[in-house]
Structure formats: C-alpha cells, structure tokens
Amino acid sequence: MKENTKKKLRSLWRAVSNPHLLISVGLAWFITNGWSYCFFGFGMYFGIKWMYRIGAFWMGMLWLPGTPEKLVTFIIAIWLLERLFPDDTRTLAKIKKKRREVHEATKLEFEKIRAKFSKKKRRNDAAEEVRPEDTASAEPSEPEQKDSEQDT
C-alpha cells in the first residue's frame, strides 16, 4: 500500500515540477486571471477608474463558487504545452493517458446512470400496462345495446 502511494506521489511530483508544464500553466493563468491583477494595480496606481473597476470585478468573480476558471486555465495550459513544447513526449503521453482514463470512467458512469433510468422506465411501463381496475371497466355494454334496440 505504501509503495503504491509513494509511486503515485512521485509520478505526480514529476508531472507538476516539469518546467514545460509550469511555463504553460503560468501563461494560461495570466491569460485567464493575471491580466485582472495588472488592471487592478495599474488602475489604482495611475488613477484609471475603469481599469481598476474591471480588474476588481474579475478578481471578485474568481472567488465565487462554481467558477470554471481553474478548469479553463488547465485546458489552456495543456493546449499551450502541446503548441509550445511538442517534443515533451513524456508529459504529453501522460496527459493523453489520463484523458483516456477519465473518458472511460465517465463513459462507464454515464452507462450506469442510463441503465438505472431505463430499468425504472421499464418497471413503470410494465406497471401501467397491467391494471386490474382498467380491465373491469373496459366492458362497453351500453353502446351495443342501443345498436341492437334500433335494429329491431
């Protein structure tokens, strides 16, 4: 158990401390967030209200729960890594492997949820098909009697 954990931590550390990945994450962070800190600082220093307000607004948005900023940052970082450092095959191979694992896990979970809902639907459909109260009231005796009385 300890060896497996150590192996995973070592692999994670190698991936995170990779200089190419760090450069890509830094650039992606500046694209998604860093500009707002610059706007905020320059706006305050030079007294440019619109720049200060936009920077403060975006910085405030980053702290709201459910902001997809980190997800977007890492998507941009991976894209930059692929474009800037195409020779870093080890890191790119790990990213592709992890992407495949996540895709397969998501696909399996989706299939489980889909199967669960289809079972519920089949049970509901089967219960609606056989109802004893519907079969008892299905005797259309009155319209047939009217037709037979008119014929005589």
User: Which tens digit of pLDDT belongs to each residue from 104-131?
Assistant: 999 999 998 888 888 777 777 666 766 6
Q: Over 90: is that where the pLDDT of 94 sits?
A: no
CB 16 within 8 A of CB 6: no
Phi-psi region of 66 (alpha: psi -120 to 50; beta: other; left: phi over 0): left
Range scoring the smallest mean pLDDT among 18-32, 70-84, 137-151:
137-151
Percent of the chain surpassing pLDDT 70? 82
User: Taking the model in full, what pTM does it have?
Assistant: 0.62
Range scoring the smallest mean pLDDT among 27-41, 52-66, 124-138:
124-138
136 phi, psi to nearest 5 deg: -70, -35
- Other C-beta atoms within 10 Å of 48: how many? 14
